[in-house]
């Protein structure tokens, strides 16, 4: 029996088995209805083993305060998995209020700087850029199966190149040849 508590925050219609699915909208029938801008979340300190928040943080008012809340509810060593819009494409949705880049994890590293560190330590385990991230939406936008298959191949090639040096990609490439849809972080709570 799995006794780990895992959260799928901002689940929308993507509810996951084995997770507590949380969303602000009762229309999607989440397990817990909660506005993620409202702190504290309805979970005890150090009570959650894993949090997934895919394309959620960019919609919230204060991402650093939300990261502090994630830290509060995660157990020591707990995992935080975020998928966010890369700043280079972050504002293609009307309700995005933030875009993210490779420097985001620095704010949770105590050795970053006294003025930059946000006070909640997370260790970055993984960072990955994806040139295209929303293949499930392409049919609704009029893309055919062959075009989508071709785009998957192009995405794989461009993403591999971009991930050779995410810092170079964020600082230079995005301005020369265009942006990346998504940046993905996996953190461990220190």
Q: Which helix H or strand E contains 75, and what residues bound it?
A: strand 74-85
Question: pLDDT tens, 51-84?
Answer: 999 999 988 899 999 999 999 999 999 999 999 9
Q: Is the dihedral of CA 140, 143, 144, 145 positive or negative?
A: negative
DSSP letter at 16 equals: -
d(CA 42, CA 115): 30
Query: Which sequence spans correspond to the domains of the chain?
Result: 6-189
Question: Of 184, 185, 178, which Cα lies nearest the Cα of 89?
Answer: 178
Question: pLDDT tens, 76-127?
Answer: 999 999 999 888 765 666 666 677 899 999 999 999 887 888 889 999 999 9
pLDDT of residue 92: 64
CATH superfamily name and code, 6-189: Vaccinia Virus protein VP39 (3.40.50.150)
Tokens representing residue 68 in the block? 């502090």
Question: Of 95, 171, 73, 163, which Cα lies nearest the Cα of 127?
Answer: 163
């Amino acid at each position: 029996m799995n006794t780990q508590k895992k959260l799928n925050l901002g689940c929308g219609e993507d509810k996951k088995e084995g997770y507590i699915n949380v969303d602000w909208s009762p229309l999607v029938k989440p397990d817990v209805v909660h506005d993620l801008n409202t702190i504290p979340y309805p979970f005890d300190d150090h009570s959650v083993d894993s949090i997934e928040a895919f394309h959620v943080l960019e919609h919230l008012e204060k991402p650093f305060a939300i990261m502090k809340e994630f830290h509060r509810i995660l157990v020591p060593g707990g995992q935080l998995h975020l998928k966010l819009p890369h700043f280079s494409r972050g504002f293609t949705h009307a309700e995005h209020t933030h875009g993210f880049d490779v420097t985001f994890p620095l704010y949770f590293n105590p050795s970053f700087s006294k003025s930059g560190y946000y006070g909640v330590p997370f260790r970055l385990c993984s960072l990955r850029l994806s040139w295209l991230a929303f293949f499930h939406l392409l049919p609704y936008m009029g893309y055919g199966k062959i075009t989508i298959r071709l785009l998957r191949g192009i995405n794989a090639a461009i993403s591999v190149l971009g991930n050779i040096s995410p810092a170079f990609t964020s600082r230079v490439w995005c301005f020369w040849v265009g942006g990346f849809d998504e940046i993905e972080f996996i953190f461990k709570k220190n």
